[in-house]
Each structure stands twice: as C-alpha cells, then as structure tokens.
Amino acid sequence: MSDAVTYTGGCHCGLVRFECTTDLSMVTACNCSICTKKGLHFSFVAPERFHLRAGGDALKEYLFNRHAIKHQLCIECGVETFAKGAKPDGTQVIAINVSCIDGIELAKLKMTPMDGRKF
Ligand SMILES: [Zn+2]
C-alpha cells in the first residue's frame, strides 16, 4: 500500500460516514448477483484501516447465500457503504464500496474483473 490515501465517505443521506485508508489499486468489477444488481465496486482493507465515524446504529445487515459477506446498508437511504468479510484463512477484511468515497470518479479507476458468479 505504498500510495495509500485516507479517504472519507458515506451513504447517500449522510447518516453513515466512514474514513478508510487504501491505495485503490484493486477495485473489483465482480459479476456475482449482488455486485451486478447493485453496481458494487469494492476495495478491500484490513479492519484497522477502516473507521466508522457516524451511523453505527443506522446499519442494517443483509446476508444471502452462505452468509460469508455481511453487507451493511443504511437504514434510511439503503446505500451499502461497506461489507464485512473474511479471507479463506479467517483474516477479517472490510470491503469498501468505492462509490461511497467522497468525490470518487469511477471512470478514472482501474477495475479488476472478478468471477464472483461461480462462488
Ligand atoms: Zn443513508
């Protein structure tokens, strides 16, 4: 993470706010059912690089399939700002919805295709 930057972001209505540190070198373009339907592009960071600044009590958890990823939705506007997951070895990881980063321009990001549909 040589070019890691600390970003701020949040949901649409502003209830949920976060700060995260990432270099955005790997942003997913995943073909799984939820990433496709919601237009999700994730950047994965260690939990210590993600801080919820507001809205901890305004989150609704959404689970599906094997419940491996805990999607966090704002109870007011429905935007998913992040998700909690674990790597195969059990290490906890936070998936930040990069579309929720303040001022982000998706078209300027390099996307990494992911074949999530097969899982
Ligand atoms: Zn919201």
Domains of the chain as residue ranges with CATH:
5-113 (2.170.150.70)
Smallest Cα–Cα separation from 99: which of 9, 34, 5?
Answer: 9
* 17: pLDDT strictly greater than 80: yes
Structure tokens at 4: 């890691």
List, as ranges, residues with CB under 5 A of the ion ligand 1.
11, 13, 15, 74, 76-77
Ligand 1 centroid distance, CA of 109 (Å): 24
Q: How confident is the model at residue 2 (pLDDT cuts 50, 70, 90)?
A: low
Which pLDDT score is estimated for 94?
97
List Cβ neighbours of 81 (8 Å cut-off, separation of 6 or more). 9, 10, 11, 16, 18, 72, 74, 96, 97, 100
Q: What is the pTM of this model?
A: 0.93
Ligand 1 centroid distance, CA of 63 (Å): 18
Ligand 1 centroid distance, CA of 18 (Å): 12
Compute the distance between CA of residue 67 and CA of residue 65 in angstroms, rounded to an integer: 6
H-only helix segments in 1-116: 33-38
